[in-house]
Amino acid sequence: MRYYLVDLIKEWEAEKRITGVKNVAMTEDFLEYHFPKYPTMPGVLLLESMAQLAGWLEAVSSGFSRWVLIERVHQCKFYGFARPGDQVEITIEVVRSEGSGQKVYQGVGSVGGQRRIVAEFDGKVVPLAELERPEDQSALFQILSRGAPGSLSAEGAAFGS
């Protein structure tokens, strides 16, 4: 991935939900032109943060054997800007599974308890090994989660999570 848009994973419940944080720093290169003299995180990157969290949820729920790639956005609403210095807290929940290869997610991103984005999207579940090295992603998850409370499947625990 070019941009990792999740800086902290606070908690998760396998196959159900995950909560993470994106810190918006003034040094983010995407802020340089969006917008000059009024930098804001592009809304599409907030949506990408949600998609990455959905991927992390699928990874940790499967013992780092699967990931999810966003395919369709059903609905997305923006309620304000995420600006430098903001911590965007994002919660993703699995709405439903559509067979073994498709899942629907709903997410909310907020700053200081105020909504910034609400979205519903679906994604295709794919083997993680086709995208990244599973052991690298497992190690990165450990860094991002910092021992956060979460429930792992026995498979996930056996993988070294």
The two structure tokens encoding residue 43: 């809304």
Q: Give me the active site residues, please.
A: 34
Between the alpha carbon of residue 111 and those of residues 10, 26, 60, 83, 88, the distances in Å are: 15, 16, 25, 10, 5
CA distance 110 to 87: 8
What is the arrangement of strands in the sheet containing 87-97, beginning at the earlier edge strand? 66-78, 114-127, 102-111, 87-97, 17-23, 8-13, 150-151
